Amino acid sequence: MSILTVTASTGSYPVLVEHNALAQLPQWLAALKLRGTLWLAYDAALEALYAQPLRDMLGAEGYSVKTYAIPSGEQSKSQQQLWQLYDWLIGGGVERRDTLLALGGGVVGDLAGYAAASVLRGIGLVQLPTTLLSMVDAAVGGKTAINHPLGKNLIGAFYPPRLVVADTATLASLSPRERCAGWAEVIKHGVIRDVALFDDLERYAAGGRRQEAESRSNSTLVGEQHASDRLSADSEQLADLVRRAVKVKVDVVSADEHEQGERITLNYGHTIGHAIETVAGYGILLHGEAVAIGLHAAASIAARVGLCDTTLVMRQQRLLHAYGLETQFPVGIDRDAILYATLRDKKVQNARIRWVLPTAIGRVVVRDDIAPALVRAVVLELP
Q: Say how far apart CA 183 and CA 174 lie, in whole Å.
A: 13
Query: In this model, does residue 219 exceed pLDDT 70?
Result: no
The arithmetic mean of pLDDT across residues 30-45, rounded, is 96
CATH classification at residue 111: 3.40.50.1970
Q: Which of 267, 277, 289, 304 is catalytic?
A: 267
The parent domain of residue 117 ranges over 3-173
Known active-site residue 77: no
Residues 131, 14: one domain? Answer: yes
Known active-site residue 262: no
Residues 147, 237: one domain? Answer: no
Residues 206, 143: one domain? Answer: no
Residues 150, 216: one domain? Answer: no
Give the pLDDT band of residue 223 (cuts 50, 70, 90).
very low
pLDDT of residue 233: 73
The arithmetic mean of pLDDT across residues 156-164, rounded, is 96
pLDDT tens, position by position, 109-144: 999 999 999 999 999 999 999 999 999 999 999 999
Q: Which of 18, 74, 185, 289 is catalytic?
A: 185
Q: Please state which of the ranges 175-189, 193-207, 209-223 shows the lowest mean pLDDT.
A: 209-223
Q: Say how far apart CA 378 and CA 305 lie, in whole Å.
A: 11
Known active-site residue 226: no
Q: Which residue has the higher pLDDT, 21 or 149?
A: 21
Q: Which residue has the higher pLDDT, 215 or 271?
A: 271
pLDDT tens, position by position, 305-364: 999 999 999 999 999 999 999 999 999 999 999 999 998 876 787 778 999 999 999 999
Residues 129, 258: one domain? Answer: no
Q: Are 64 and 37 in contact (CB under 8 A)?
A: yes
Known active-site residue 274: yes
Known active-site residue 121: yes
Residues 275, 376: one domain? Answer: yes
- What's the predicted TM-score (pTM) here? 0.91
Query: In this model, does residue 196 exceed pLDDT 50?
Result: yes
Residues 160, 192: one domain? Answer: no
Strands 355-360 and 363-367: antiparallel
Known active-site residue 147: no
Residues 12, 47: one domain? Answer: yes
Known active-site residue 287: yes
User: 1: which residues sit within 8 A by CB, 6+ positions away?
Assistant: 16, 18
Looking at residue 48, its amino acid is A
pLDDT of residue 258: 87
Q: How far is CA 130 from CA 5, 135, 143, in A?
A: 19, 7, 17
Known active-site residue 143: yes
pLDDT of residue 209: 53
Residues 41, 153: one domain? Answer: yes
Q: Which of 55, 77, 143, 244 is catalytic?
A: 143
Q: How far is CA 260 from CA 253, 265, 344, in A?
A: 10, 11, 18
Number of domain units in the chain = 2
Q: Please state which of the ranges 140-144, 181-185, 257-261, 320-324 shows the lowest mean pLDDT.
A: 257-261
Q: Which of 274, 296, 346, 354 is catalytic?
A: 274
Query: In this model, does residue 215 exceed pLDDT 80?
Result: no
Residue 7 C-alpha from the chain's centroid: 19
Q: Say how far apart CA 130 and CA 114 lie, in whole Å.
A: 18
CATH classification at residue 250: 1.20.1090.10
Residues 117, 188: one domain? Answer: no
The arithmetic mean of pLDDT across residues 77-85, rounded, is 97
- Mapping DSSP to helix (H, G, I), strand (E, B) and coil, where does residue 225 land? coil
